[in-house]
Amino acid sequence: MIFGIFSMAFVGFTVTKYFPTVDWIIFVLTIGASLATMITLWGFKRVLVFINEKLGAKIRTMCQSEAFIGFTGIMICGFVPRVVVFFVGFNVAILSFTIILSSVAALTFFFLFITWNRRRLDTKNNEWLTFAVFIINVILFIGSIRLAVSYEDGKDIEVIIWTQVFFSFLTIPSMMDLGIILLGNEMIMNNENEEEIKMTVKVQKSKKAAGNSSGPECKICVLPFNDTTQIPRMLKECGHTVCGRCADKLYGKQKQYEIICPMCQKVTVIGMGKKYLPKNFELLELI
């Protein structure tokens, strides 16, 4: 995925450096449209986070929805230049604008919706899905080349083939990742349900001990807080609470003496381990 992103950035750089110089109007429009795209996507991300917090969405649901948006956006950004080039051919101004804007949009989707969520999504590769995506893209690529050679102008043929080759490095990985999000996480959710069924007896016992009330639960692992294994720990910078086990996992993944809150993404600086996070005694009283 990263290779595809940098390939796309390289395409934008190559267009601006090696293609004939375009006029200042196109340059200003490209910069303005790129900035507008970044601001719009950033605003959309903030609205999405706000809505999820108000609805009390679970972390896994938030990760899946954001990853779906991110990979879908990147895939679309990869296909747009591959389609536009057939209509404009060797039109430097329009093609440069399209490629650079698509590059900026793809990078923005990647950093806003993928970088934080991808390391938390426990996805598994699906060989049949990978094979299907590869075959689909091979068919599209062959069809694109056959259509390209029907053009009369040699420059049009060259730029069409060139665009198809480079943007394949973006569309293929993003389609695979999107498919894994749609199919892989569904299998993981099923596995989680099976584990919950196996743990039914234990859960029922814990509910009886708590007076037939599940009580507050950790929004990451969705397990109820208790005073032994799922001790509620408060993130000092934002006030959100996670269980001790999830705090250890977040700390272990980031390894920078800090924990990034999965709910609001604020950073809480800590010492060595979860013991430096204060207990949420208000929640402990409810258990």
**Are 212 and 170 part of one and the same domain?**
no
Identity of the amino acid at 42: W
**Number of C-beta neighbours around residue 172 at 10 A:** 22
**Are 79 and 18 part of one and the same domain?**
yes
d(CA 214, CA 223): 9
| 10: in domain | yes
216-243 residues labelled b (16+ CB within 10 A) or e (exposed): bbbbbbebbbbeeebbbbbbeeeebbbb
The model's pTM is 0.59
Question: Which three-class secondary structure state does DSSP give residue 8?
Answer: helix
**Are 186 and 227 part of one and the same domain?**
no
| 202: in domain | no
The answer to whether 225 and 244 have CB atoms below 8 angstroms apart is: no
**Are 234 and 136 part of one and the same domain?**
no
**Are 179 and 260 part of one and the same domain?**
no
**Are 159 and 61 part of one and the same domain?**
yes
**Are 80 and 219 part of one and the same domain?**
no
Domain count for the chain, please give it: 2
d(CA 140, CA 200): 49
Question: What does each of the 287 residues of the chain score in pLDDT, given as a tens digit?
Answer: 554 555 555 555 555 554 555 567 777 888 899 899 999 999 999 998 888 888 877 777 777 788 889 889 999 998 998 899 888 888 877 888 888 888 889 889 988 888 776 666 655 566 777 788 889 888 988 888 888 888 888 888 888 888 888 888 888 888 887 877 777 544 344 344 434 333 333 444 444 444 444 578 888 888 888 888 888 888 888 888 888 888 887 776 655 667 878 778 778 877 655 556 888 887 777 76
Q: Which of 169, 194, 219 is the last residue of a domain?
A: 194
**Are 181 and 246 part of one and the same domain?**
no
| 29: in domain | yes
Write out pLDDT tens, residues 267-276.
887 765 555 6
| 200: in domain | no
Q: Which of 172, 194, 216 is the last residue of a domain?
A: 194
| 199: in domain | no
| 93: in domain | yes
- Range of the structural domain that residue 71 is part of: 2-194
